[in-house]
Structure 1
Amino acid sequence: MSEKSVSTVIIDAPLADVEAALFSIGSYPEWLSSIKKADVIESDSSGRVLKAKLAIDAGMMKDRVTLDYDWSAAPASLSFTMDEADLLTQMDGAYTLKAIDSDSTEVTYELTVAVGMPVPAMMITKAQKQTIDAALKELAERVG
């Protein structure tokens, strides 16, 4: 059983700008260093991505994963679950957004990852935390 890693940051950008970056999953490779490729497989009638295949290179976590996106709590939250992957057995996460004021947004990112090979839990937790921290930093750079 994997443990969830969570981090929260305040980004100096309006909520709409943060949403625009986070909700444009196909453009992740433009600003997220851990996402090398993002192919949108399925979208809904509003153009929101429902399924995407991502090539991930986040240190020890290197894989091709297909993620299903859940927009039911949008725009306050966007969550995803892993449909399939080459190596990972679990990759679930969520971004939760909250406007602090007109020029700043609180973003919380939670991530749970499991691998199908014996890897110490401490290493997985460290990799999750590094992935989250890097993603939040890169998001802030993208919209700030």
Structure 2
Amino acid sequence: MSEKSSSTIVIDAPLADVQAALFDIATYPEWLTSIKKADVLESDDQGRAVKAKLSIDAGMMKDRVTLDYDWSAAPASLSFTMDEADLLTQMDGTYFIKALDEDSTQVTYELTVAVSLPVPAMMITKAQQQTIDAALKELAARVS
């Protein structure tokens, strides 16, 4: 069983700009260094990705994963769950997005990962935290 990791950042950008970056899954490789490729496989009637295949290289976490995106709580949050992967056995996450004022947005990213290989839980938790922290910093750089 994996532990959930999370981190929160305040970004100096309007809510709409942050949501636009986070909600455009196909552009993740342009600004997220851990995502090497993102192919949207299915979209909903609003053009939002509901299934995407991502090539991930986040240090010890390297894999090709197919994620299912849940838009039921959008625009306040975006969640994903893993459909299939080569090595990972779990990859679930949620971005929680909240405007603090007109020009600043709080984003909390929660991530849970499990791998099929025998890796100490402490190493997985550390990798999760590094992935989360990098993603939030790169999101801030993208929209600021």
Smaller-chain TM-score range?
Answer: over 0.9
- Unmatched 5+ residue regions in structure 2? none
Q: CA deviation at 1:60?
A: 0.1
Deviation at residue 50 of structure 1 after TM alignment: 0.2
Q: TM-score, normalised to structure 2's length?
A: 1.00
| 1:114-139 Cα distance to aligned partner (Å, 9 max, x none) | 00010000000000000000000000
- Correspondence 1:128 to 2:128: yes
Per-residue CA distance 1:31-82 (angstroms, 9 max, x = gap): 0000000000000010010000000000000000000000000000000000
2: CA distance, partners of 1:136 / 1:117: 27
CA distance in 2, matches of 1:22, 1:39: 15
Gaps of 5+ in 1: none
The size of the alignment, in residue pairs, is 144
* Amino acid aligned to 2:70: D
Find the aligned partners of 2:46 and 2:142 in 1 and give their Cα distance.
24
Question: Where does residue 101 of structure 1 map in the other structure?
Answer: 101
2:36 is aligned to: 36
Give the residue type in structure 1 aligned to 2:69.
Y
What is the root-mean-square deviation of aligned Cα atoms in Å? Answer: 0.2
Question: What TM-score does the superposition give when structure 1 sets the normalisation length?
Answer: 1.00
Deviation string, structure 1 residues 93-134 (Cα, Å, up to 9, x no partner):
000000000000000000000000100000000000000000
> Within 5 Å, which residues of 2 pair with 1:19-34?
19-34=19-34
